[in-house]
């Protein structure tokens, strides 16, 4: 690892200087008078909870957000009247959280989209390929120019995005949550690339809400909270603990440790030989066996897209397995429909809460009633009893501390955390035997995440079996009693929490057996 | 941590509450604006013909509600429009587009006329409900075909209901020219229904019949159904989000088919009202496109049964007043058709309007900043 080298730009005028940037979406002030300086060749971290305004600020920088006020200066030039084209020409490139690549085209084809200079209407691919190879070598960014983007791994696609920005002459590279899609080994590779870029004079703005990453890669850290700058720190002069406090506004408590489960606790759910072939004949699940005991949180770790979503949907009854058996409390529920599974004691917290978890256009009340419209006392003789429903809804809003004006408020207008609390209140109300939770804290800020975790742990203490499917390795490691790693529709191994180590799990997530 | 999150948001929440009730009102306001704008554009068209738009509209109003008879005619016309319109609205609520109200109306009218002709000796108290029920069952089954095709074969109900319209119209045409034709007439119609099969007249001296009670009842019951019953709740959930509905244990296909069937039942009832209340027999062209106008009426009424009833009365008034306008001022009644469909365009175009307004606001903000 190279140390940060002092560069002339450090002392004098910075490469980028944003002053008093304000961005509003309707009534929401996403950015409120933010200042940010980045020196040439510096790695500047932008830290903050979800919704703190990090992505908005960067979108403002590349001309994708409506700037209300403030000024931007880059390399001594005023570029306050920013647009995507102005940003590109100035030398600012951004790698978005969701990649902006066309999967059916090759790397070289993707790179020259929108660049008439590379030959128009027929791009000169030889020249492009040569240029890519040059960049590849210079920054140790391995990329095959003739590969189809669809055939590349997520990590490789990210490298293509970085090269795309460099190709367009970026001297400042914005990486928006670049590690959220990577496995641990890929993250180390990305950090190596960032260090290379920095050493050769390219400034990097690194957006993250993960403290350890920010601590290990950045030189300066700007912490955003609720659209404002909470603090700016030198990485060498701060600690993860201080950063967490600045980010959230209070000291975080440690997660309560999950109590150990005894070998004798009875299995609640048993999944045997589950296979699933999708409509395009792709094998998504290749014989999955899992046992979840009473009072156990069984974590499924894995990189997104390795069959976790299919597994959850099959358990919930939304998707039919090609073969295999699902037992719940000794009962075969493989052939039961969703409603009967719910009655058998299954709860499902889907990963896409805005689509499967909630009806965004309906009220808080209606969303809490979703599973009760055939159940007394909430529905009697086919009619809803609004007195009973109102009492239930008010109790849930109170118990789960859901922040809404009243129960008639549309789910759409709630914050992400409150939306998830709404889902939890509905799914936990029925005292389930088995909870299938998929990415239960995705997109939530730290306090909402803690809340969701504490609710799951409370259920676990009460003897509920929980299958926790998450791509956040930290989440799986800190909550689960046992951890299984999923790769290409198979379980690569199952560990007790005490015997699980990050490196082994990381290798299994990448599909490599013990090295 | 809870206090920190909750406190600043309370006053915000109060604002939100206001906004939501405003949102509901905004729906009806947009209907009103669309209608008013259509009238303005209609006035421009009339003016372009060299006629006086004010005079034309005065004649229109007079023809629609000017006297007891025209008022009765307006409400008479509103009966099939509102019944079929409420049906279309219920299907919309479930996320299904029922373009087949016309065919369902034809099938319902035919079925009820057949019952009326088959049991001429029954007293009205038995015969009329029997005819109405038959019409609803027939219309419901007809819509159910499209529903079943959607549920089991994932075939678009929009296409299938349109196709079923043709089948229904030609089937009825075959019947009234063939097996069920009035032997004493060369026209495509059945024999006259027995007296017992006539819907009673509500306003003596006019044609306004008891179907109006059915239409009002349908509007009230449909509101009750949609917002109070568990089934109506499921319909609204499925219409908004099938994924969430499925995950919470609802039978999405069953709910959608049921909404289409209810939709067809109401259209069938509209057919019964036309056969038993207006024509007193089944005729080949029993509907001048009520089933299609019903779609517009459902949209204009914001798929709210009460709103749909109001929109039906409005459209009926336009149609009834149009002929008076034509004879009094010389403006062709097709101008009214233009206005009717301008309403649709303007309602659909509301999204574009919001878009433009957003852009303009963003621009003016930038200039200020």
Which of the four pLDDT bands, split at 50, 70 and 90, describes residue A453? very high
Domain residue ranges of chain B, discontinuous segments joined by +? 68-317
Note the pLDDT tens digit of each residue in A285-335: 999 999 999 999 999 998 777 889 999 999 999 999 999 999 999 999 999
Q: Which CATH class is domain A14-91+171-179+202-252?
A: alpha beta
Identify the residue with better confidence: B116 or A53.
B116
* Among the ranges given (A106-120, A244-258, A476-490, B347-361), the one the predictor scored with the smallest mean pLDDT: A244-258
DSSP assignment string, B172-208: HHHHHHTTT--TT-SSSB-PPPPGGGSPPBSSTTS--
Q: What is the mean pLDDT of residues B50-69?
A: 92
Q: How confident is the prediction for chain A on average, in pLDDT?
A: 87
How many angstroms separate the first and last alpha carbons of chain A? Answer: 23
Are B229 and A410 a contacting pair at CB < 8 A? no
Residue, of A3 and A227, whose pLDDT is higher:
A227
Three-class SS of residue A80? coil
Instruction: Tell me the average pLDDT across A35-55.
Output: 87
Whole-number Å distance between alpha carbons of A49 and A299: 24
Distance CA A431, CA A462 (A): 10
Contact assessment for residue A59 and residue A174, using Cβ atoms and an 8 Å cutoff: no
What is the pLDDT at residue B5? 36
**pLDDT (mean) for A17-40:** 87
Q: Measured between beta carbons, which residues in chain A are less than 8 angstroms from residue B233? A: 366, 369, 373, 384
Contact B259/B96 with Cβ under 8 angstroms? yes
Given 1.10.287, 1.10.540, 1.10.3430, 1.10.3470, which CATH number is that of B68-317? 1.10.3470
Q: Which residue has the tokens 């066996």?
A: A289
Residue B108 pLDDT: 97
Rounded Cα distance between B148 and B261, Å, is: 10
Mutate to test the interface with B, among A81, A370, A390, A415 (most CBs of B within 10 A): A370
CA dist B116 and B122 (Å) reads: 9
Question: Is the pLDDT reported for residue A138 higher than 60?
Answer: yes
Predicted-assembly ipTM surpassing the 0.90 threshold:
no
pLDDT (0 to 100) of residue B369: 42
Residue B10 pLDDT: 36
In this predicted structure, what is the pLDDT of residue B288? 92
Angle between helices B101-118 and B124-153 (to 10 degrees): 140
| C-beta pairs of A453-456 under 8 Å, 24+ apart in sequence | A453/A255, A453/A478, A453/A479, A454/A256, A455/A400, A455/A424, A455/A428, A456/A297
Q: Which chain A residues are Cβ-neighbours of B231 within 8 angstroms?
A: 382
The nearest CA of chain A is from the CA of B245 a distance in Å of: 7
More confident residue, A1 or A269: A269
Smallest CA–CA distance from A313 into chain B, residue: B247
CA–CA separation, A60 and A312 (whole Å): 37
Residue A254 has pLDDT above 60, yes or no: no
- Interval B350-366 mean pLDDT: 67
Token digits of residue A434: 């088995």
Mean pLDDT of chain B: 89
Q: Is the pLDDT of residue B24 over 70?
A: no
The average pLDDT across A221-225 equals 91
Strand order in the sheet with A28-38: A28-38, A16-25, A67-74, A77-78
The reported pLDDT for the residue numbered A412 is 85
Q: What is the pLDDT of residues A403-446, one digit of tens each?
A: 888 888 888 888 888 899 999 999 999 889 999 999 998 877 77
B244 and A356 in contact by Cβ < 8 A? yes
The domain ranges of chain A are 14-91+171-179+202-252, 253-345+431-515, 362-429
* pLDDT at residue B47 in the model: 94
**How high is the pLDDT of residue A28?**
67
Rounded (10°) angle between helices B53-65 and B9-48: 110
Residue A262 is predicted with a pLDDT of 62
Give the pLDDT confidence of A380-393 residue by residue, as tens digits.
Answer: 999 999 999 999 99
Tokens of A509: 């997530």
Which chain A residue has its CA at the smallest distance from B363's CA?
A: A66
Which of B2, B230, B234 is opposite residue A401, by nearest beta carbon?
B2
From A362's Cα to the closest Cα of chain B, the distance in A is 8
For the cut 50, the answer to whether the pLDDT of residue B340 exceeds it is yes
Q: Is the pLDDT of residue A8 over 70?
A: no
pLDDT exceeds 50 at position B307: yes
Residue of chain A whose alpha carbon sits nearest to that of B245: A370
Q: Please answer yes or no on whether B234 and A373 come within 8 Å at the CB atom.
A: yes
**Rounded average pLDDT over A241-245:** 78
User: CB neighbours (10 Å) of residue A215?
Assistant: 17
Closest to A52 in 3D by CA, of A354, A416, A405: A416
pLDDT at A7 over 50: no
One fold for both A14-91+171-179+202-252 and A253-345+431-515? yes
| Residue B123 pLDDT | 94
Which residues in chain B have Cβ-Cβ distances shorter than 8 Å to A359? 237, 240-241, 244-245
pLDDT at A29 over 80: no
To the nearest whole percent, how much of chain A has pLDDT over 90? 50
pLDDT at site B191: 92
For residue B4, what pLDDT is reported? 37
Instruction: Give residues with Cβ within 8 angstroms of A391, minimum separation 6.
Output: none
Instruction: Report the pLDDT value the prediction gives residue A245, as an integer from 0 to 100.
Output: 76
Report whether pLDDT(A454) > 80.
yes
Q: Which of A1-15, A163-177, A379-393, B103-117 has the highest mean pLDDT?
A: B103-117
Quick one: pLDDT band at residue B142, thresholds 50, 70, 90?
very high
Q: Band the pLDDT of A474: cuts 50, 70, 90.
A: confident
State mean pLDDT over B18-24.
48
pLDDT > 70: percent of chain A:
93
**A326-334 CB contacts, 8 Å cutoff, 24+ apart:** A326/A269, A326/A270, A326/A271, A326/A272, A326/A274, A327/A267, A327/A269, A327/A270, A327/A271, A327/A272, A328/A268, A328/A269, A328/A433, A328/A434, A329/A268, A329/A433
CA distance A295 to chain B (A): 24
Q: Which helix (H) or strand (E) holds B361?
A: helix B350-368
Give how far B17 is from chain A: nearest CA, Å.
6
Taking residues B215-229, report their average pLDDT. 96
Mean pLDDT value of segment B189-193: 93
CB contact under 8 A, A447 and B4: yes
* Number of Cα atoms under 13 Å in the Cβ half of residue A387: 2
**In Å, how far is A360's CA from the nearest CA of chain B?**
8
> 């990097």: which residue's tokens?
A204
* Per-residue pLDDT band at A260 (split at 50, 70, 90): low
pLDDT surpasses 80 at B181: yes
E strand or H helix at A313, and its extent? helix A308-316
> What are the structure tokens assigned to A132, written together?
């890519």
User: Tokens standing for B133?
Assistant: 């029920």
Q: Give the sheet arrangement for strand A465-469, strand by strand.
A: A346-349, A434-438, A465-469, A297-301, A482-487, A490-496
Residue A436: which of A277, A308, A323, A255 has the closest Cα? Answer: A308
Q: Taking Cα atoms as reference points, which of A247, A156, A164 lies closest to residue A208?
A: A247
A442 secondary structure, DSSP code: T
Q: Is the model's pLDDT at A342 over the cut of 90? A: yes
Token pair of A28, please?
A: 């929401």
CATH architecture of the domain with residue range A253-345+431-515: 3-Layer(aba) Sandwich (3.40)
Statement: residue A4 has pLDDT above 80: no
pLDDT at residue A251, rounded to an integer: 47
Residue A155 pLDDT class (50, 70, 90 cuts): confident
Phi, psi of B139 (to 5 degrees): -65, -40
* Inter-chain CB proximity A355 and B233 less than 8 Å: no
Q: What is the DSSP letter of B283?
A: B
Concatenated DSSP letters for B316-345? Answer: HHHHHHHHHHHHHH---THHHHHHHHHHHH
Q: What is the pLDDT of residue B17?
A: 39
Is residue B267 a contact partner of residue B278, using CB atoms and an 8 Å limit?
A: no
Per-residue model confidence (pLDDT) at position B14:
38
Per-residue model confidence (pLDDT) at position B364: 65
Asked if the peptide bond before residue A121 counts as cis, ω within 30 degrees of 0, the response is yes
């Amino acid at each position: 690892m190279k140390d940060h080298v002092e560069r002339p730009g450090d002392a004098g005028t910075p490469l980028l200087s944003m002053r008093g940037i304000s961005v509003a979406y309707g009534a929401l002030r996403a950015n409120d008078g933010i200042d940010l300086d980045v020196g040439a060749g510096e790695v500047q971290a932008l830290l903050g909870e979800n919704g703190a305004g990090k992505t908005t600020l960067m979108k403002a920088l590349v001309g994708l957000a409506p700037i209300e006020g403030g000024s931007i200066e880059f390399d001594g030039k005023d570029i306050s009247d920013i647009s995507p084209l102005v940003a590109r020409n100035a030398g600012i490139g951004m790698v978005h959280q969701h990649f902006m690549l066309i999967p059916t085209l090759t790397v070289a084809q993707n790179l020259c989209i929108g660049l008439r200079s590379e030959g128009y209407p027929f791009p000169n691919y030889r020249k492009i390929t040569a240029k890519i190879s040059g960049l590849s070598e210079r920054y140790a960014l391995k990329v095959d120019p003739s590969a189809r983007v669809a055939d590349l791994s997520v990590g490789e696609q990210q490298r293509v995005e970085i090269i795309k920005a460099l190709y367009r002459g970026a001297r400042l590279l914005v990486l928006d949550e670049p590690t959220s899609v990577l496995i641990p080994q890929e993250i180390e590779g990305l950090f190596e690339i960032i260090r290379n870029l920095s050493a050769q004079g390219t400034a990097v703005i690194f957006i993250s809400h993960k403290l350890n990453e920010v601590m290990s890669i950045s030189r300066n850290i700007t912490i955003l909270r609720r659209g404002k700058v909470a603090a700016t720190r030198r990485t060498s002069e701060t600690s993860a603990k201080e950063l967490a406090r600045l980010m959230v506004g209070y000291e975080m408590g440690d997660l309560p440790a999950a109590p150990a489960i005894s070998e004798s606790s009875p299995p609640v759910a048993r999944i045997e030989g589950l296979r699933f072939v999708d409509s395009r004949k792709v094998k998504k699940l290749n014989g999955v066996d899992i046992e979840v005991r009473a009072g156990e949180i069984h974590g499924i770790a894995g990189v997104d897209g390795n069959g976790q979503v299919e597994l959850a949907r099959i358990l919930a009854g939304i998707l039919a397995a090609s073969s295999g058996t699902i037992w719940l409390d000794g009962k075969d529920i493989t052939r039961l429909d969703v409603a009967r599974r719910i009655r058998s004691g299954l709860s499902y917290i889907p990963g896409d809460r805005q689509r499967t978890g909630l009806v965004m256009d309906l009220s808080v009340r209606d969303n809490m009633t979703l599973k009760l419209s055939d159940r007394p006392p909430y529905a009697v003789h086919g009619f809803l009893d609004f007195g009973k429903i109102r009492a239930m809804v008010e109790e849930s809003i109170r118990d789960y501390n859901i922040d809404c004006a009243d129960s008639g408020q549309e789910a759409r207008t709630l914050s992400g955390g409150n939306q998830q609390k709404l889902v939890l209140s509905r799914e936990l109300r029925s005292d389930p035997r088995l909870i299938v939770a998929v990415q239960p804290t995705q997109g939530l800020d730290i306090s909402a995440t803690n809340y969701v975790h504490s609710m799951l742990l409370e259920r676990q203490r009460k003897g509920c079996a929980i299958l926790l499917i998450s791509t956040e390795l930290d989440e799986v490691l800190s909550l689960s009693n046992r951890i299984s790693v999923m790769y290409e529709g198979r379980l690569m191994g199952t560990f007790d929490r005490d015997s699980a180590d990050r490196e082994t799990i990381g290798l299994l997530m990448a599909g490599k057996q013990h090295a | 941590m809870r206090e920190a999150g909750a406190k600043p948001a309370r006053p915000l929440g109060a604002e939100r509450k206001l906004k939501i009730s405003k949102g509901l009102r905004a729906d009806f306001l947009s209907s009103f604006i669309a209608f008013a704008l259509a009238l303005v554009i209609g006035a421009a068209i009339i003016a372009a013909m060299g006629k006086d738009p004010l005079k034309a509209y005065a004649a229109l109003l007079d023809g629609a509600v000017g006297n007891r008879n025209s008022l009765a005619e307006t409400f008479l016309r509103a009966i099939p429009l509102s019944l079929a319109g409420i049906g279309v609205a219920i299907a919309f609520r479930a996320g299904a587009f029922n373009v087949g109200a016309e065919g369902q109306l034809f099938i319902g009218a035919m079925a009820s006329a057949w019952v009326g002709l088959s049991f001429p000796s029954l007293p009205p108290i038995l015969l009329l409900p029997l005819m109405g029920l038959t019409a609803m069952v027939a219309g419901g089954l007809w819509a159910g075909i499209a529903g079943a095709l959607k549920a089991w074969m994932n075939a678009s109900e929009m296409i299938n209901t349109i196709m079923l319209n043709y089948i229904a119209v030609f089937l009825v045409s075959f019947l009234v020219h063939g097996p069920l034709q009035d032997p004493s007439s060369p026209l495509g119609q059945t024999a006259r229904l027995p007296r017992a099969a006539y819907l009673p007249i509500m306003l003596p001296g006019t044609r306004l019949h008891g179907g109006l009670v059915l239409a009002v009842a349908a509007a009230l019951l449909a509101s009750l159904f949609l917002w109070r019953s568990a089934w109506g709740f499921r319909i609204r959930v499925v219409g908004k989000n099938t994924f969430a509905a499925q995950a919470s244990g609802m039978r999405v296909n069953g709910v959608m088919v049921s909404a289409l069937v209810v939709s067809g039942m109401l259209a069938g009832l509209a057919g019964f009202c036309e056969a038993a209340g207006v024509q007193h027999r089944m005729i080949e062209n029993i509907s001048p496109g009520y089933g299609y106008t019903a779609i517009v009426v459902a949209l204009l009424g914001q798929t709210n049964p009460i709103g749909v009833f109001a929109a039906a009365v409005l459209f009926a008034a336009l149609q009834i007043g149009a002929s008076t306008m034509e004879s009094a001022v010389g403006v062709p009644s097709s101008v009214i058709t233009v206005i009717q469909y301008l309403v649709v365009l303007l309602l659909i175009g509301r999204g574009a309007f919001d878009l433009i307004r957003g852009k303009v606001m963003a621009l003016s903000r930038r200039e200020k900043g």
